[in-house]
Structure 1
Amino acid sequence: MPVLPGAEPFRHEGGEVGVLLCHGFTGSPQSLRPWAEHLAGRGLSVSLPLLPGHGTRWQDMQLTGWQDWYAEVDRALRELLERCAQVFVFGLSMGGALTLRLAAKHGDAVRGIVLVNPANKVHDPLAVTLPLTKHLIRSMPGIASDIAKPGSLEVGYERIPTRAAHSLRSFLQLVDAELPQVTQPVLLLHSTQDHVVPPADSARILARISSTDVTESLLEQSYHVATLDHDAERIFAESWAFVGRLAEGADREGAETGG
């Protein structure tokens, strides 16, 4: 299937500091493209993959599960680690959960992580019925474009495949159990008003990770897809400052010129 316009993966060959960006459930790289381009413009090596089953049509997600999505970001991380001295991982929503698992599994190979409205649980009361309903109902209403900024739209599916939703629920339970293994520096930005992932998810993540270098930042002007919302520039600036603080030998002026 052809990829939806704007949903293509993005890569930039930059300097010795790399960033992997992970998009969300039923979304696409389009939701993180401005962030990726901001980082690339400052000389970083950037990888923003398209998760399997995403960016085409929702029916294609029926054939995929969390193992496929995680395998793709794990592959992209290993590629960055081969050519960069230091690598950071950033994620939005389910991409935040993927980021947390990469941090838990790869340890010190991941220098730091940035989470934007990270998902920790499927909160729909009917989620407990997914093992059964996935065989009876193919899809549910979508969650794309929860954005406060007028005219800003997310390239994502209008329907959620129930098989994929069941897999997501299983994945989030797995990641929750692994949170104590996360020790890296963390910058967590979350919206005070989010119609997809409640602030309680961020609170639980912060309570369960083992990281000691933790910064929490509230986004008061944005909804769930904050990277395309009013607070986008703030997210870009704070994440760039986070990398600059932690990346050993990363000279900001030199990074901006690609040096």
Structure 2
Amino acid sequence: MLSRLGLLLATLVFLTSCAMPPDSPHFQPSDSLPPYDQDSFDHYVRDTRAWIAENRVFLSDDHNLEIELNTPFELRPDKPAKRGILFVHGLGASPWYFSDIATAMADDGWLVRSILLPGHGTRPADLMLPDSEDWEKAVAHHANLLAAEVDELWLGGFSTGSNLVTSHALKDEYIAGLLLFSPGFYPDNDYLFLAPIISRLWNWVDIDDEDNIVTYQSLPTRGAALYYRSVSTVQKNLKAARFDKPVLITMSQHDSVLDPDATLDAFQTRFPNQQSRFVWYGEPPQDLDDPRVTVLASNLPHRRISTFSHMNVLFAPENFYYGEKGSHIIFENGQDGIALPDDTENLWFGAWGQIAAEKYHARLTWNPYFLELLDNIREVTGDS
């Protein structure tokens, strides 16, 4: 009886956060998803671009830019590549999230591809269309396509994408290593396990203004359920096996959606390769005794940065959209009752929910240590 009562209470807590969508195309799904199993990456890119152009609910007058930033892409080095990496973005995000890292790796001689997970790139309601097999099969198909072109294949992922590529790598002996940015292995949410149940009863977890051309702001319960399934799968796989090849993991101590300590513990127990590295942004963890872990301070007052966010590690300070002088600032950052300053030069930056007296914190969306991150990648992949 107590366990049933607890489940009921948890369900009620979850439902209080749900919302009714306005009458807008953003919250009405497309008729279908595009295929992702084409026999060539070029064919896949063309088909996906056409589908985005036809189904996207545009947020600006620059439709070409919005299509470009949400379309899968490939970067080839000047010389034939022996090494390739496939990048997989996170929930609600886009292939463009890897553009800064992809450019640097292509310059280093890698063949780089970044795919679009089904349900992304158009409107939040399209996350109601895929199932977990669509995501898993898309990753597997494009890993196999890229493997046919290179001698050595790596996988990279952000957040949910990290869950997908890690689960694949634990089953595919061909994968040579992993680059994982804020991997979503361990969510800091006690009610996530309810998402698959709630998705059958209620359509939306969160409704927000759609003003970001590379990231959905709203989330259907179906999307939350898909993330939960990726969590359940990767946790099961990590319990059953270790990944003995090199891996880079980055994590903010102040990540607002994940459990950083659990992620660090998983690195130390499930990723034993001595070439692996864990980059921790924040204060040094207690009792840390692993030379593979690098600690970088995330409180940088001289740059008006208080903490690192879930997303900022991927982006160079020079990024045109999310960079230090970028065109898009995420002002809505969980700070009710704090006035937005008149001058954006007085903004501070941090993780979601960062609050400090007399400081307005927008989301930190760029990485002050981006060049160091590229060095970390080269060290782990053997390019240094």
- TM range, smaller chain: 0.7 to 0.9
Moved over 6 A (4+): none
CA deviation after TM superposition for structure 1 residue 161, in Å: 1.5
Q: Distance in 1 between matches of 2:102 and 2:187?
A: 27
**Is 215-224 or 120-129 further displaced after alignment?**
120-129
Determine whether 1:217 maps to 2:279.
Answer: yes
CA deviation profile, 1:184-229 (whole Å, cap 9, x unmatched): 1111111122112231342243145253333211134331112022
The 1:202–1:154 alpha-carbon spacing in structure 2 relative to 1, beyond 3 Å, is farther
Structure 2 counterpart of 1:45: 111
C-alpha contact 2:246 2:381 (8 A) present in aligned 1: no
C-alpha contact 1:12 1:46 (8 A) present in aligned 2: yes
C-alpha contact 1:121 1:173 (8 A) present in aligned 2: no
Secondary structure at 2:70's aligned position in 1? coil
Structure 2 counterpart of 1:13: 76
Determine whether 1:114 maps to 2:203.
Answer: no
Question: CA RMSD for the aligned pairs?
Answer: 2.2
* Aligned with residue 177 of structure 1, among 205, 226, 236: 236
The 1:139–1:233 alpha-carbon spacing in structure 2 relative to 1, beyond 3 Å, is farther
* Aligned with residue 382 of structure 2, among 244, 248, 251: 244
TM-score by length of 1: 0.82
Determine whether 1:162 maps to 2:231.
Answer: no
The count of aligned residue pairs is 236
CA deviation profile, 1:169-191 (whole Å, cap 9, x unmatched): 12211111111242211111111
Structure 1 counterpart of 2:18: none
Give the percent of matched residue pairs that are identical in Structure 1 and Structure 2: 23
Structure 1 counterpart of 2:248: 187
Aligned partner of 1:216: which letter? F
Q: Which consecutive residues of structure 2, in runs of 5 or more, have no partner in the other structure?
A: 1-51, 57-65, 282-296, 299-307, 316-365
TM-score by length of 2: 0.57
* Aligned with residue 260 of structure 2, among 199, 216, 239: 199
Which structure has more relative contact order (CA 8 Å, sep 6+)? It is 1
Determine whether 1:24 maps to 2:93.
Answer: no
Aligned partner of 1:131: which letter? P
C-alpha contact 1:30 1:154 (8 A) present in aligned 2: no
The 1:52–1:199 alpha-carbon spacing in structure 2 relative to 1, beyond 3 Å, is same
CA deviation after TM superposition for structure 1 residue 65, in Å: 2.2
CA deviation after TM superposition for structure 1 residue 104, in Å: 0.2
Q: Distance in 1 between matches of 2:265 and 2:194?
A: 23
The 1:115–1:83 alpha-carbon spacing in structure 2 relative to 1, beyond 3 Å, is same
C-alpha contact 1:186 1:211 (8 A) present in aligned 2: no
Structure 1 counterpart of 2:204: 139
Q: Which consecutive residues of structure 1, in runs of 5 or more, have no partner in the other structure?
A: 144-152, 246-251, 253-259
C-alpha contact 1:93 1:197 (8 A) present in aligned 2: no
Aligned partner of 1:240: which letter? R
Aligned partner of 2:259: which letter? P
Q: Distance in 2 between matches of 1:217 and 1:181?
A: 19
C-alpha contact 1:9 1:29 (8 A) present in aligned 2: yes
CA deviation after TM superposition for structure 1 residue 111, in Å: 1.1
CA deviation after TM superposition for structure 1 residue 13, in Å: 2.9
Q: Distance in 2 between matches of 1:205 and 1:154?
A: 34
Secondary structure at 1:240's aligned position in 2? helix
CA deviation after TM superposition for structure 1 residue 120, in Å: 1.1
Structure 1 counterpart of 2:139: 73
Determine whether 1:125 maps to 2:190.
Answer: yes
Q: Distance in 1 between matches of 2:138 and 2:123?
A: 18
Q: Distance in 2 between matches of 1:88 and 1:142?
A: 36
CA deviation profile, 1:46-72 (whole Å, cap 9, x unmatched): 111111111111111101122111211
Whichever of the two has the greater Rg, that structure is: 2
CA deviation after TM superposition for structure 1 residue 90, in Å: 1.4
CA deviation profile, 1:236-256 (whole Å, cap 9, x unmatched): 2311332235xxxxxx7xxxx
Q: Distance in 2 between matches of 1:233 and 1:32?
A: 15
Aligned partner of 1:18: which letter? G
C-alpha contact 1:103 1:184 (8 A) present in aligned 2: no
Aligned partner of 1:136: which letter? L
The 1:142–1:238 alpha-carbon spacing in structure 2 relative to 1, beyond 3 Å, is farther
Q: Distance in 2 between matches of 1:161 and 1:204?
A: 31
C-alpha contact 2:189 2:257 (8 A) present in aligned 1: no
CA deviation after TM superposition for structure 1 residue 76, in Å: 1.3
Q: Distance in 2 between matches of 1:190 and 1:88?
A: 20
